[in-house]
Structure 1
Amino acid sequence: MPEGHSVHRIANQFRASFVGKPVEVTSPQGRFAAGAAKLDGATIVDAKAVGKQMFLEFDNGLFLTVHLGLYGSWDFAGDFSLDPTTRSAKGRMGQTNMRGTELVDSAGEDSWKSIGAPRRARMRMSESEKREDDIDVFPPEPIGAVRVRILAETVVADLRGPTKCDVATPEEVDATIAKLGPDPLVDSPKKGADRFYERVHKTKTMIGLLLMDQSVVAGVGNVYRAELLYRARLNPHTPGNEVPEETVRALWKDWTKLLKSGVELGQMMTMSHLSKKSYAAAMKSRDDRHWVYHREGLPCRTCGTNILMEEAAGRKLYWCPVCQA
């Protein structure tokens, strides 16, 4: 499932490529035909992400709200405009260490090697970003079960497999956002930290579950949950109301840092203080980007104890029983 940084990057791409443009909205699959008709012909005026949800605002007073869930993805095709994070990466999304070194992810997360050539490119954005075959004809025919197609003059976005896809009023959007926890890229540092501490401190639920609760903090998924707890040397079973306030606020500060890094890099890089060589290796292979995530049975990178994996509310929780004792 895409975590917060991926959804913010998708919103960035919509702002760069669609905002200010009238669009044709259709439902090639047919399941969203009524909703598409309400948005068809309107102009997109804004795109924003809060946690794992994205909100496209149209000039007719309506929003398209999308939660990708486990299987959702956006496919962009055509003549792309670049969002600021892509420009800063010299047109390479998800394959650069932001220091001018071109890297190719061995797992395929290489996105665009050159976003400006050819002009009619195709890319899929979800949990990862992958460059697809270039297109010869614009707009391309929909591939698969496309729930929503958003077509501007030179660029198209196709949505497939979302958990949630609705047309909403401003009041409905406000109500949805009000139910979500703070997001470091939406809330101010102090407001976000205060809201996070308030929601953690009032419950006995273990912190390992609270970090996955989108009403407590927006955008954290399984990878970031495991890595944040390890970086804080915090036992995931600690009740929220027993986590010291300074630790809760440090968690928020670290989440802010990791989220911003994820948006910039297009990768969940959660290791720090690496040598230049180790950093380059980590950016080439996702297996080298994390302290504990997906490392059950392997030695802890710090103490050598085998990393544990357990089921927690139906999701896999990874942690070190020594470093996080």
Structure 2
Amino acid sequence: MPEGPEIRRAADQIAEVLVDEDITQVRFGLPRLRRYAKLLRGHRVVDVETRGKAMLTHFDHGYSMYSHNQLYGLWRVVDGHKLPKTTRSMRVLLQTASHSAILYSASDISVMPTGELSQHPFLAKIGPDIMNTALIWREVMERLQSPRFSRRELAALYLDQAFLAGNGNYLRSEILHDARIDPRCKPAQLTRGELGRLARSTLTISRRSYDTGGITLNPRLAKRLARTSLKREQRRFYAYGRTDQPCYHCGGIIRRSEANSRGLYYCSVCQNA
């Protein structure tokens, strides 16, 4: 599933071709949504926003389209109106005079008045968006210390969208590794210094992934590995997907375990509480 950085990059790509443009054609692949095509057609997109893993396309007449990629959803932006050949099911098509934005495969889509978005079942329960540039590390630290979250294992907490929206599986492993925190720990067990380090890593890693298109390594290490024979997928992460390989920080071995039915990767040395 795409995580916060990937959804934000997709939103930026869509905004580049849709914002301040009149939507000349609207099509929905799901029958329950087809009645909204006429409602949106002919109106102008004013903003494309993300809240965690959800995308909100806002129109100038006070309506918004909510979409969540779920596991298999994918946005594509193409020049002109000729659609790509694909076996995927088209769910949404938004066209301007010069471009097409297409959402494939996703089914969690709705259209509603912008003023009612806070009542949407998903949006009503999520926490702050990790890609929101106004979010600072002290706010993340406060959430880690709050009674609601402080006694939960970090391995589970860092997948909970009510804690921070946009976190996901690879970010969980990478953030905890960068902060040198054992995934089995609970925030209540950490020192104030460790909490601060974890809060900073939460924002640093997620925003670095956005800036680099999915690489969480620090720039110096990323450049060094780029000069090797490793393929890009093999040099993106500190821990995620690197089972039995040496830790870049301490030389310990990266281990894999299951947490919340998903792979969790950590260093057996520098993340051992």
How does 1:84-99 map onto structure 2 within 5 Å? none
Equivalent residue for 1:20? 20
Equivalent residue for 2:69? 68
**Within 2, Cα distance between the matches of 1:19 and 1:282?**
41
- Give RMSD over aligned pairs: 2.4
2:142 aligns to what SS in structure 1?
Answer: helix
**Within 2, Cα distance between the matches of 1:199 and 1:277?**
36
Give the TM-score, by structure 1 length: 0.73
Answer whether contact 1:45 1:57 (CA < 8 A) is retained.
yes
Equivalent residue for 2:2? 2
Identity fraction in percent:
28
1:32 aligns to what SS in structure 2?
Answer: helix
How does 1:225-236 map onto structure 2 within 5 Å? 225-236=172-183
Tell whether 2:223 aligns with 1:223. Answer: no
How does 1:30-179 map onto structure 2 within 5 Å? 30=31, 32-78=33-79, 138-140=81-83, 143=86, 144-176=88-120, 177-179=123-125
Letter in 1 for 2:240: Y
C-alpha displacement of 1:152: 0.8
Q: Which moved more, 1:294-303 or 1:308-317?
A: 294-303
Report Cα offsets for 1:28-62 as digits up to 9, x if no partner: 46453133343222211111112211110011211
**Within 2, Cα distance between the matches of 1:63 and 1:56?**
5
C-alpha displacement of 1:254: 2.3
Q: Which moved more, 1:69-78 or 1:275-284?
A: 275-284
Answer whether contact 1:209 1:313 (CA < 8 A) is retained.
yes
The alignment covers a number of residue pairs equal to 265
Letter in 2 for 1:173: L
Give the TM-score, by structure 2 length: 0.86
Answer whether contact 1:26 1:40 (CA < 8 A) is retained.
no
Answer whether contact 1:210 1:240 (CA < 8 A) is retained.
no
The verdict on how the C-alpha distance between 1:185 and 1:306 changes in structure 2, with shifts beyond 3 A counting, is closer
Pick aligned residue for 1:200 from 126, 134, 144: 144
2:224 aligns to what SS in structure 1?
Answer: helix
Equivalent residue for 1:290? 237
**Within 2, Cα distance between the matches of 1:146 and 1:31?**
14
Pick aligned residue for 1:266 from 213, 230, 254: 213
Gaps of 5+ in 1: 80-137
Structure number with the bigger relative contact order (C-alpha 8 A, sep ≥ 6) is 1
Letter in 2 for 1:3: E
**Within 2, Cα distance between the matches of 1:168 and 1:250?**
40
Tell whether 2:124 aligns with 1:181. Answer: no
**Within 2, Cα distance between the matches of 1:53 and 1:280?**
36
2:97 aligns to what SS in structure 1?
Answer: coil
C-alpha displacement of 1:205: 0.9
Answer whether contact 1:307 1:320 (CA < 8 A) is retained.
yes
Letter in 1 for 2:103: L
C-alpha displacement of 1:255: 2.7
The verdict on how the C-alpha distance between 1:282 and 1:234 changes in structure 2, with shifts beyond 3 A counting, is farther
Gaps of 5+ in 2: none
Q: Which moved more, 1:304-313 or 1:208-217?
A: 304-313
C-alpha displacement of 1:189: 4.1
Answer whether contact 1:282 1:289 (CA < 8 A) is retained.
no
1:54 aligns to what SS in structure 2?
Answer: strand
C-alpha displacement of 1:159: 0.7
1:157 aligns to what SS in structure 2?
Answer: strand
Letter in 1 for 2:166: G
C-alpha displacement of 1:283: 8.7
